[in-house]
Amino acid sequence: MANSPLSIAMISDFFHPNVGGVENHIYMLSVNLLRRGHKVIVITHSYPPDRVGVRWLLPGLKVYYIPFTTLVSSATLPDFLTFLPYFRNIILRERITLIHAHASLSALGHEGILHAHLLGVRTVFTDHSLFGFADAASILTNKLLEATMRTVGATICVSHTGRENTVLRANLAPEDVYVIPNSLIADQFLPAATPLTSDTVTIVVVSRLAYRKGVDLLVAAAPRICAACPNVRFVVGGDGPKLIDLLQMREKYFLQDRIELLGPVLHRDVPKVLTRGAIFLNTSLTEAFGTAILEAACAGLYIVSTRVGGVPEILPEDMISFALPTEDDIFRAIVEAIDIVQHGKHDPHRAHERIRGFYDWKQVAVRTEKVYRAVMDSPPQNLWTRIERTMGLGPFVGPIFTIILAVDCLFFMCLEYWYPREDIDYVDKQWGKHRFEEVLET
Amino acid sequence: MRGSRPLPDTNPELLVLDAQDLCREYRVENWHLARDGSGRVIRGASGLTWLDGVLVAVSGVLWRSVPSIQSHSIAQAAAVLMLILLVYYKCTQVLWESILVFPSHGIQLETHRGFPPYPLLASRRFIPILELQDLIINEGLRGWAVRYYLAAMYQPPGPQRLAVAYENILPLFPVLHEVYVGVHAYLQSNMGNYNETT
């Protein structure tokens, strides 16, 4: 029983063809779990015009695109009951035993966890981002998260700071939350084969140019650095609403030959951009893990970053210089980094080898599997405990979510009558590791 | 014309009819055994049933007794229209669907409709062997469920298209798998001009 393969469904609004950290995490984790012999499918929402239905990703990952309309940045509305019919059909036909939902902003993930008990399926939730507590969106999302966390089997966060944040937002017991950091594929981020010329120091910035990525700090610090250090150049890749601020700053200080703006950079071109520089600058105002920083460090760059969120946990002290999120401190940190790089105190190839040893997707899959086994071995919550815990959410939210739970159960009962289980098209022949190897050999 | 049931215990609605050297027909009839193991027959198309008798009797009674129907011609026309629709529905029920395989000529997808057990109408779709690229089993969303379907990929003059077999009955996977294996094997064993792309 301890070593039998699991059937896992990853549920999230955020999956390919969208590109991002959560999407990449889900894909890499699924692939490594497939390699370990489990069965993994992904359930996500559809992309117009025609990405609806069942698709396959190499190496044998099945993706269900369910037709729901998206609201903003690929997240759907929490319409609790409309997902249940699709969910029931998919989970039954694939004979799924465990659900892994990703991202607090993903309504599909929350709904998957809420419906899972009706089918006797266990649940795990991974939270990928940090949230505030004061603005309207955060208050609502935090309450939704708290409701889901009352009934989930286990929670995983990507950093210890993330764990603190999730525990506070969702009122959880900290000892019930696991921390499994993200990872990266070190082979994709190799340092430059030929060393860079030591007369100019290039600082690379690659990020979405939005407010929360701290572009204002970059706009304030870049002219000061260019004035103080005449041999420094900036290469900025990425696009977003704050690009206009960078362009205006460049015009105002006549830095067209010192600051190069690349525009949007595809993920597969990022390693080429990174190897152009010796220093990577990250000025985010909030960051749960900082995969971009890790990728830059793997490519051999020295890192300058704001000390926020989970960033202090990801790299050893001698590979990164921290700054407070103020213009003066960033200036100080960059000057310090330029000094380190110019005196040759940072070895890109040694840095790459160290990162290769620290981070590995296979390890993430092994640790996640341990969480899965712990959940599968623990006793499930019965319906009465579930109702009691949901009622304990608060004087208003408690009854609301309990009513949703009750209506959910009734709807499920109707579905069991109108769409009997024997009429479902079960999946009995499927791609497995062995079948895939067979086909590749012929 | 020899007939056999390749899955007699679980899916006896699948028939394979062989006309020697000419074609082989994989026919799926519109009924199935109850899937809970009881062996009861669940029919998809019904002949004369008690419900039809009741409907005819009720409409006869209404025609004679309800004054509003006797006086207004619109009500009469509506009643006659509903009767015609009922007859149309009863006479166009799907009786069976099949795939006919003509080696070195092509395949033909057929739907036979009628009043059980008498076939009245038939619609056929022929795909020549040179246009036919592959026969596949794919999964797709249908309403709230995900179903397997058997489709022929072909390239007429124009873009590539999919023709779904057993479009109305949509049998479950074991039947589709049996037909898939059978059609592929039959086409390969009667090679002739047929070049299969795998």
DSSP string, chain B: -EEE-SSTTT-TTEEEEEETTTEEEEEEESEEE-TTTT--EEESS--S-HHHHHHHHHHHHHHHH-HHHHH-HHHHHHHHHHHHHHHHHHHTEEEEEEEEEETTTEEEEEEEEEETTEEEEEEEEEEETTTEEEEEEEEEEETTEEEEEEEEEE--SSS-EEEEESTTT---HHHHHHHHHHHHHHHHHT-TT-----
pLDDT score, position A1: 47
- The beta-carbon neighbor of B36 closest among A419, A422, A425 is A422
Report, in angstroms and rounded to the nearest whole number, the Rg of chain B calculated over CA atoms: 21
Cα-based distances in Å from A93 to A90, A278, B150 = 5, 52, 18
Residue-level length of chain A: 442
- In A60-79, the residues whose Cβ lies within 8 Å of chain B are 64, 66-67
pLDDT 10s digits, A88-116: 999 999 999 999 999 988 989 999 999 99
At residue A282, does pLDDT exceed 50? Answer: yes
Q: Which of A52, A54, A81, A425 to mutate to test the interface with B (most CBs of B within 10 A)?
A: A425
Check residue B1 and give its pLDDT: 61
Angle between helix A21-35 and A361-377 (nearest 10): 80
**A186-358: CATH, from 3.50.50.60, 3.30.70.20, 3.20.20.80, 3.40.50.2000:** 3.40.50.2000
For residue A233, the SS3 value is strand
pLDDT of residue A2: 61
* Residue B52 or A302, more confident: A302
Average pLDDT over all residues of chain B: 88
Chain B interface, Cβ < 8 Å to A = 35-36, 138-141, 144-148, 172-173, 177
pLDDT cut 70: percent of chain A above it: 97
> The domain A7-183+361-441 belongs to what CATH superfamily?
Glycogen Phosphorylase B; (3.40.50.2000)
Residues B82, B87, B89, B90, CA torsion sign: positive
The pLDDT of residue A76:
66
Tally of CB atoms within 10 A around A174 = 10
What does the mean pLDDT of chain A come to? Answer: 91
CA distance A369 to B125: 51
Helix axes A215-228, A243-252, angle to 10 degrees: 20
pLDDT tens-digit map of A219-264:
999 999 999 999 999 999 999 999 999 999 999 999 999 999 999 9
Same fold, A7-183+361-441 and A186-358: yes
**Residue among A83, A93, A39 at smallest CA distance from A61:** A39
Q: Look at B144 and A419 and tell me if their CB atoms are within 8 Å.
A: yes
A169 vs A130: CA distance, rounded Å? 10
Q: What angle do CA A34, A38, A42 make, to 5 degrees?
A: 65
B22 pLDDT above the threshold of 90:
no
Cβ-Cβ contacts under 8 Å between A and B: the total is 41
A129-148 average pLDDT score: 88
Residues A206-211 have a mean pLDDT of 90
Assess whether pLDDT exceeds 50 at residue A63.
yes
CATH assignment of B2-43+92-197?
2.30.29
Domain boundaries, chain A: 7-183+361-441, 186-358
CA distance A6 to chain B (A): 22
CA distance B171 to chain A (A): 9
Q: How far apart are CA A344 and CA A43, in angstroms?
A: 49
In this complex, is the C-beta atom of A53 within 8 Å of any C-beta atom belonging to chain B?
Answer: yes
A371: left (phi over 0), alpha (psi -120 to 50) or beta: alpha
Q: How confident is the model at residue B104 (pLDDT cuts 50, 70, 90)?
A: confident
Angle at A240 between CA A287 and CA A30, to 5 degrees: 50
Q: Return the minimum-mean-pLDDT range out of A189-198, A216-225, A227-236, B96-105.
A: A189-198
pTM of the model: 0.90
Q: Do A85 and B144 count as a contact with CB atoms less than 8 A apart?
A: yes
Predicted complex ipTM exceeds 0.95: no
Tell me whether A47 touches chain B (CB under 8 Å). Answer: no
User: Is residue A343 less than 8 Å (CB to CB) from chain B?
Assistant: no
| A124: Cβ contacts below 8 Å, ≥ 6 apart | A98, A99, A100, A101, A152, A153, A154, A155, A156, A371, A372, A375
Check residue B101 and give its pLDDT. Answer: 95
CB contact under 8 A, B141 and A54: yes
Q: Could you give the CA distance from residue A131 to residue A192 in angstroms, rounded to a whole number?
A: 36
pLDDT at A319: 92
Write the CA distances from B179 to A430, B3, B43, B46, integer angstroms.
18, 14, 21, 26
Among the ranges given (A140-149, A426-435, B1-10, B14-23), the one the predictor scored with the smallest mean pLDDT: A426-435
Residues, chain B: 198
Structure token digits, residue A317: 């002290």
Q: Fill in the amino acid letter for A228.
A: A
Indicate yes or no: CB of B145 within 8 angstroms of CB of A425.
yes
* A56 vs B: CB within 8 A: no
- The helix (run of H) or strand (run of E) holding residue A306 is strand A302-306
pLDDT at B5 over 90: yes
Share of chain A above pLDDT 90, in %: 73
Looking at beta carbons, which residues of chain B come within 8 Å of A426? 173
Question: In this predicted structure, what is the pLDDT of residue B193?
Answer: 46
Residue of B nearest to A85 (CA): B144
Structure tokens at A112: 């998957």
CB contact under 8 A, A54 and B146: yes
Whether A178 and A159 have beta carbons less than 8 Å apart is answered as no
Pairing of strands B145-154, B132-142: antiparallel
In chain B, which residues have their Cβ closer than 8 Å to the Cβ of A422? 35-36
pLDDT at A434 exceeding the cut of 90: no
Q: How far is CA A53 from the centre of its chain?
A: 24
Contact A429/B at CB under 8 A: yes
Show contacts of A207-212: CB within 8 Å, 24+ apart.
A207/A238, A207/A282, A207/A284, A207/A292, A208/A238, A208/A239, A208/A240, A209/A238, A209/A239, A209/A240, A209/A241, A209/A242, A209/A243, A209/A246, A210/A240, A210/A241, A210/A242, A211/A241, A211/A242, A211/A285, A212/A284, A212/A285, A212/A286
CB spacing of B147 vs A425 below 8 angstroms? yes
**Contact call for B35 and A429, based on CB within 8 A:** no
Predicted pLDDT at A105: 87
Pick B35's closest partner by Cβ from A53, A93, A423: A423
In this prediction, residue B198 carries a pLDDT of 46
Contact B141 A66 (CB under 8 A): yes
Residues of A with CB below 8 A from B138's CB?
54
Does the structure show a pLDDT above 70 at A72?
Answer: no
Q: Do B173 and A425 touch (CB under 8 A)?
A: yes
A53–B139 C-beta distance less than 8 A: yes
CA distance B122 to B97: 9
CA A185 to each of CA A118, A190, B160, B186: distance values in angstroms, whole numbers, following the listed order: 38, 10, 38, 47
Would you state the structure tokens that stand for residue B37, as one six-digit string? Answer: 């193991």
Average of per-residue pLDDT across A167-184: 91
Instruction: Kindly indicate the confidence band of residue A42, based on its pLDDT and cuts at 50, 70 and 90.
Output: very high
Residues of A in contact with B177 (CB under 8 A): 429
CB neighbourhood size of B140 (10 A):
14
pLDDT band at A168 (very low <50, low <70, confident <90, very high): very high
| pLDDT for residue B72 | 75
Residue of A nearest to B177 (CA): A429
Among all residues of chain B, which has the CA nearest to that of A62? Answer: B139
pLDDT, residue A25, reads 95
State yes or no: pLDDT of A436 exceeds 80: no
> Which chain A residues have a beta carbon less than 8 Å from that of B35?
420, 422-423
> At which residue do the structure tokens 């960051």 appear?
A287
Per-residue pLDDT reduced to its tens digit, A315-364: 999 999 999 999 999 999 999 999 999 888 899 999 999 999 999 999 99
Indicate the pLDDT class of residue A402, thresholds 50, 70 and 90: very high
C-alpha–C-alpha distance, residues B174 and B178, integer Å: 6
CB–CB contact A53 B36 (8 Å):
no
Angle, to 10 degrees, between the axis of helix B73-91 and the axis of helix B50-65? Answer: 170
Q: In chain A, positions 85-144, which contact chain B (CB-CB < 8 Å)?
A: 85-86, 89-90, 93
Backbone phi and psi for residue A313, each to the nearest 5 degrees, phi listed first: -90, -15
Segment B151-167 shows an average pLDDT of: 95
- Report how far residue A366's alpha carbon sits from residue A360's, in angstroms, rounded to the nearest whole number: 10
Q: What is the pLDDT of residue A312?
A: 93
The CA distance from A425 to the nearest CA of chain B, in Å, is 6
Chain A residues with CB under 8 Å of B136 CB are: none
Residue found by looking up tokens 């990507």 in the block: A158
